[in-house]
Amino acid sequence: MTDQMIAPVRPETVDIDAAIGILKERFPDAVKDDTREGYGGVIVERGQLVEIATVMRDELGFDYLSSATAVDYLGIEDSMEMVYHAYRTTGGSPLVFKAQTPRENSSVPSLIDIWPGVDFQEREAYDLYGIAFPGHPNQKRILMWEGFNGHPMRKDWKEAYYEEEHKPFDSRWPKGMVRRAEELNVYGKNVEYPADFDLSRLSDDTESSLYAGMGLGVNVEALDNTDELKTDRLVVNLGPHHPSTHGVFRMVVTLNGETIETLEPVMGYLHRNHEQIGERNAWLYNMAFTDRLDYICSMSNNLGYALAVEQLMSRGMRYTPPTYRAEVIRVLMVELTRIVNHLWAIGFLLNDLGAFFTPALYAIAEREKILDFFEATAGSRLMCNYMRFGGVFKDLPERIHSTASLLNDKVRDFDTMQYITELITEALPRAVDELDRFLTDSEIVKTRTIGVGYLPAETAIAYSAAGPLLRGSGVAYDVRRAEPYSIYPELDFDVAVRYNGDIYDRYLIRIDEMRESLRILKQILPRLEHTKGESFFAGNKAVYMPRVALGEAYGRVENPKGELGYYVVSQGDPKGPQNPWRYHVRAPSFINLTALGQMCKGQKVADVVAILGSIDIVLGETDR
Amino acid sequence: MSSLDLRQLHDTEFPIPDEMQGNLAITSLSKVYNWSRRSSVWPMLFGLACCAIEMIATAAARYDTARFGMEVMRASPRQSDLMIVSGTVTKKMVVPIVRLYNQMPEPKYVLAMGACASGGGPFKEGYNVVSGIDQYVPVDVYVPGCPPTPQALINGLIALQKKIDGQSLANMDDVPWYGVGPSDPVPIPILGPDIIDPRQMGLIRQQAMAAAAGQPYGLRELPTVPMKIVSKTASAAGMVEVDAISVVDEAAEADRKARRQDAVARKRAFLAKS
Ligand code: SF4
């Protein structure tokens, strides 16, 4: 009885250090602290990975595996490792654990049975690093095509246009000599073929390997023995060129009549090697590339990356955190971006429901006004490239010129504060109310969306869903509250949550979130006035090209589409030119798609596009 | 041109009797033909990457491509006249793109929107990126930018209209679909160990043979004269003087400078006037 009287600590609530302590106690041989300089978390013996992961999930309460990625330490340790970040959906910082494997015949047991959300991430690690995942039921390439030569993210793999490991390239700077890469390549193209390439046995097996194992064909006997309507199984390809896939996404659907039996997402049609290019770039250069991840929300992508690198910088000397005004401006931009994204998402969800382009037109009209402000501030409508490590690169302008019809259609010259105040207090609330008024009670929207694409809370967590998809299923998890960053702790807002887990609730969540964003923005306005004239950038320009300490960092933000995380590893010479050793993006659109097949099973084929629309993916981020 | 303005169409010397003025116009067939084509260019509903967002913004209320008769975006290549390649072309995606291009009926046009579609853009060095769609299909208009603003895209669309205007029915080279027949389909690339352009089969075979014989393969002899991009002197920025032969054509350079000065002078004059 005494046990209960001292109120035993529940292991699922202990903090990270205590959790690691419990793990080390349970598995003294298999769990070790990661003692490398600048690293944290634990290194787990890969033979016992599954067992240990089970304990983490079931006993320690880390029910949400956010990110899983591989790192190749060629030349440093001659091993590769898988890095996992696990969270509790009740909030708090991540438990980081790693499993190491030799580079030859590399393999790490699959965690798909513990956290099904690692499905695509393990396939990606297999595709790009060649790590095998015994236990994974569908270990195929995901971004590149089946038959591609090699695993391109390995450090010893060189692309056809390879020049040097680090940018800026010595050949180009400062001497200014340049040979166009095409001129050096004998094919004049970005291609290279292996030396033992046998043209006589050329076969394009990308498609056949896709269709194999889908269980096609008809079982005639089974058909004869039922009284039901005799139907053939049919394979339908939606995409990569399809008006409703929001880009170049492809779904291979098997239909029985009109009902979906299986749905296999096929991606990689926009795989533009973001991570590999990022590892050749200096730290700063990647900022511009993050714009092109989720190209609707460039501002919030910037923030996540800035946070990750600032974490690394803060471990070195001579680091000044971003100024208060910088943080205020950042939150202003990020919340406006959230509204941009949700307007866009709702407009195009309606597109997917069949209301072709008219709702989208209304949504985009409001978005243009925000883009005008972005353009006046950052110089570009879409690819803002606005944030820097330590702040932002430019203060808000005094005045902005805009064609926005806040009052009428003339090109006008506004005072910036007046413009955004009007935007935040009048134009945007009006737009949100308008969408709400026209859509929320619409008979057609309701019939098409209520109860469709159901995703229960447990499944959403298991599949590592994030953002509106997770919160629409009744899990109130928002990084801004779970592990706050920037000035969110001092801001007053609620985490929007809905409980039915269908398309309609995901739509409502977006409306709610826009209202919450407006609430935040209204608190930002006085802070902007208040800090006027203060510094918007900490330190001097030298911070633009930072020298960061050795080690790893994981920065994450609540992007409009879900949790966006950047895992960066620095192994650079602290004196020389530096670029990330590893630069990984935990892309919400990519991981949210893991649940798509599950949600679509048993639905009608016409609902697939609506379900996809309700996840709100963007291909730049999915395929990276 | 929303309705047919007869006075504009009438471009021949042929005298029209007074009582028929305003009811009758005499013009060339090419002109009517081109006028109707340029005012109803239907683009394919087809977005690749970030540039597609700006393409949608261009089609939306504020920029409104309906003014050019281009608002009808067709999802099917069979009904479209113009393919706006709006974004990064990857090796995996170029296969469907070429297939779509082949399925478009003639006359068909291709507009490369943005840095990526024109030449690979910021992602050019990537292992899965094609350095510009013009490596596979012919391009009519290039629009620079990353992404091009809607204004820039509209400028590109107007350039395309001008191109259509310039095509004459009298010249079968301009309208080959009436003369020599439809153009040959572009061979579809194959996804092997890397992407294979069937038009390069001979070259690939040659290289494979060289590799088998142990000879160097895959790389081209370096051109003797590297291109000189920056031509600063040592004193100007403390940089090393590049000791390669300059490839800058002096006469062309002088010509360019003169034209630029002219343009600046014109602009000044204009500004002074207004
Ligand atoms: S040109 Fe720029 S904006 Fe356009 S697709 Fe390429 S990266 Fe994106």
For chain A of 624 residues, list the mean pLDDT of each consecutive stretch of 10: 55 77 83 82 86 85 88 84 88 86 87 88 90 86 85 86 77 66 79 76 67 60 62 78 79 84 86 88 88 89 89 77 87 92 90 83 86 87 87 84 54 79 89 89 87 88 90 88 87 88 90 91 89 78 73 89 90 70 90 88 86 88 87
Residue B187 falls inside a structural domain: no
Question: What percent of chain B has pLDDT above 70?
Answer: 81
**Ligand 1 atom closest to residue A382's alpha carbon, by position in its atom list:** 3
User: pTM (2 decimals)?
Assistant: 0.84
Angle formed at CA B139 by CA B97 and CA B76, multiple of 5 degrees:
40
Distance spanning both ends of chain A, measured CA to CA: 56
Domain of A14?
2-129
Helix axes B150-165, B50-59, angle to 10 degrees: 70
Rounded Cα gap, residues A266 and A48, in angstroms:
32
- Who contacts B97 (Cβ-Cβ below 8 Å, separation ≥6)? B83, B85, B89, B133, B136, B137
Number of domains in chain B: 4
CB B90 within 8 A of CB A271: yes
* A174 inside domain: no
Contacts of A163 in chain B (CB under 8 A): 125
Domain CATH for A13: 3.30.460.80
Last residue of a domain, one of A75, A101, A129: A129
The pLDDT score that the predictor gives to residue A511 is: 92
Residue-wise pLDDT tens digits, B66-90: 888 887 888 888 888 899 998 899 9
Residues B157 and B198 in one domain: no
Residue ending a domain, choose from A64, A94, A129: A129
B43 lines ligand 1 (CB under 6 A): no
Domain assignment present for residue A518? The answer is yes
Contacts of B244 in chain A (CB under 8 A): 177
Query: Cβ(A331)–Cβ(A283) under 8 Å?
Result: no
B127, part of any domain = yes
Q: What is the pLDDT of residue A230?
A: 63
From the CB of B122, is ligand 1 less than 6 Å away?
yes
Give the model's pLDDT for residue A338: 92
Closest CA to A70 of A43, A98, A93: A98
Q: What is the DSSP pairing of strand A95-102 with strand A177-178? A: unpaired
Residue B44, domain member (yes or no): no
Chain centroid to Cα A398, Å, comes to 34
Q: Answer yes or no: is A381 within a domain.
A: yes
B51 alpha carbon – ligand 1 mean position (Å): 5
Amino acid making up residue B119: G
Distance CA B3, CA B18 (A): 22
Same domain, B85 and B166: yes
Q: Which of A232-241, B30-39, B109-118 has the lowest mean pLDDT?
A: A232-241
Nearest CB to B242; choose among A144, A177, A619: A177
CA of B171 to the centre of ligand 1 (A): 37
Residue B171 and residue B109 in one domain: yes
**Domain shared by B119 and B206, yes or no:** no
Is A233 part of a structural domain of the chain? Answer: no
Q: Residue A215: what pLDDT?
A: 57
- Specify the long-range contacts of residues A33-38, CB closer than 8 Å, at least 24 apart: A34/A96, A34/A98, A36/A551, A37/A550, A37/A551, A38/A312, A38/A315, A38/A549, A38/A550, A38/A551, A38/A552, A38/A570
Domain count, chain A: 2
Residue B218 shares a structural domain with residue B120: no
Which three-class secondary structure state does DSSP give residue A362? helix
Cα(A483) to ligand 1 centroid in Å equals 33
Any domain includes B184 = no
Q: What sign does the dihedral B65-B69-B70-B76 (CA atoms) show? A: positive
Q: Is the confidence metric ipTM above 0.90 for this complex?
A: no
Residue A280 lies in a domain: yes
* Average pLDDT of the residues in B147-172: 86
CATH number reported for the structural domain that contains residue B118 in this entry: 3.40.50.12280
Q: What CA–CA distance (Å, rounded) separates B73 from B45? A: 5
Interface test with A, best of B127, B133, B191 (most A CBs within 10 A): B127
Q: Is A172 close to ligand 1, i.e. is its CB under 6 Å away?
A: no
Residues B174 and B141 in one domain: yes
For β-strands A31-33 and A42-44, DSSP reports them as antiparallel
pLDDT at B253 > cutoff 80: no
Strands A562-570 and A551-559: antiparallel
- Name chain A contacts of B127, Cβ cutoff 8 Å: 152, 159-160, 190, 273, 276
Residue of the nearest CA to atom 5 in ligand 1? B87
Check whether residue B91 and residue B211 sit in a common domain.
Answer: no
Residue A561 lies inside a defined structural domain of this protein: yes
Residue A405's pLDDT is what? 46
Q: How far is the CA of B52 from the centre of ligand 1 (A)?
A: 9
A268 found inside a domain: no
Picking from A148, A182, A206, the nearest residue to B131 by CB comes out as A182
Task: Identify the CATH number of the domain in which residue A479 sits.
Answer: 1.10.645.10
**Nearest to residue A580, comparing CAs of A552, A556, A557, A555?**
A552
Question: Cα(A473)–Cα(A465) distance, rounded to whole angstroms?
Answer: 10
Same domain, B157 and B58: yes
What's the per-residue H, E or C state across A506-568? HHHHHHHHHHHHHHHHHHHHHHHHHCCCCCCECCCHHHHCCCCCCEEEEEEEEECCEEEEEEE
Tell me whether residue B183 is in a domain.
Answer: no
Q: Is residue B86 part of a domain?
A: yes
How many Å apart are CA B141 and CA A251, to the nearest integer? Answer: 32
| φ, ψ dihedrals at B244, nearest 5° | -90, 165
Same domain? For B126 and B174 the reply is: yes
Domain membership flag for residue B185: no
Q: Is residue A173 part of a domain?
A: no
Whether residue B131 and residue A190 make contact (CB cut-off 8 A), yes or no, is: yes
Which of A143, A86, A94 is closest to A111 using CA atoms?
A86
Q: Is B7 on the interface with A (CB under 8 A)?
A: no
Mutate to test the pocket of ligand 1, among B51, B53, B123, B129 (most ligand atoms within 8 A of CB): B51
pLDDT value of position B249: 59
Q: Is B153 on the interface with A (CB under 8 A)?
A: no
Whether B247 and B265 share a structural domain: yes
CB atoms within 10 A of CB A444: 12
Rg (C-alpha) for chain A, rounded Å, is 25
Binary contact (A381, B54; C-beta < 8 A): yes
Determine if ligand 1 sits within 6 Å of the CB of residue B85.
no
Question: Measured in angstroms, how far is the CA atom of residue A52 from the centroid of ligand 1?
Answer: 43
> Is B45 contained in some domain?
no
Q: Which of residues 45-64 of B touch A (CB under 8 A)?
A: 45-50, 52-54, 56-57, 60-62
- Among A129, A163, A195, which residue terminates a domain? A129
Full residue range of the structural domain in which residue B26 is found: 3-38
